Amino acid sequence: MNHVETRIRVRYAETDQMGVVYYANYLVWMEVGRVEYCKAQGFNYRDMERDDGAFLVVTEAECRYLAPALFDDEVIIETHVLEARARSIRFGYRMRQAAGGKVLATGATNHIICGTNRKPMRLPEKYRPYFSEG
């Protein structure tokens, strides 16, 4: 699967005094995109944690802001895997306005797979096909 699109509507609480989405909310949207990416692949991220003790721990996050999102805008979060290794995954994101397609921000997050003991582990075999690059 190349990328997964997730639609959200900007809530008033996500904006700052200037009526623009507060910058940290883009990181939250990236998380929303990751969870929906997993669902589109055919599994729930929650189940991977609960049933298999595998957690995707964020080790790095980056975001480049290109245009403001405003209250009540519909935003499309495009999520895809940039790199998948035995013990780490890198996701890429593009957030754009649903109306017109203007790119609002791009970003990436690096994750290490950790077990319930908070120590690095290999991604369980059954999940590897879900995180193939593309």
Tokens of 120: 């690095």
Query: Cα 72 to the chain's mean position, in Å?
Result: 21
What's the full length of the chain, in residues?
134
Residue 43, beta-bridge partner list: none
Three-class SS of 107-128: EEEEEEEECCCCCECCCCHHHH
Model confidence, pTM: 0.94
Range of the domain at 110: 4-131
- Pairing, β 4-9 against β 74-84: antiparallel
> Whole-angstrom distance between the N-terminal and C-terminal Cα of the chain?
7
The tens-digit pLDDT sequence of the chain (134 residues) is: 589 999 999 999 999 999 999 999 999 999 999 999 999 999 999 999 999 999 999 999 999 999 999 999 999 999 999 999 999 999 999 999 999 999 999 999 999 999 999 999 999 999 999 998 65
How many domains does the structure of the chain reveal?
Answer: 1
User: What CATH number is given to the structural domain containing 99?
Assistant: 3.10.129.10
Catalytic machinery residues: 16
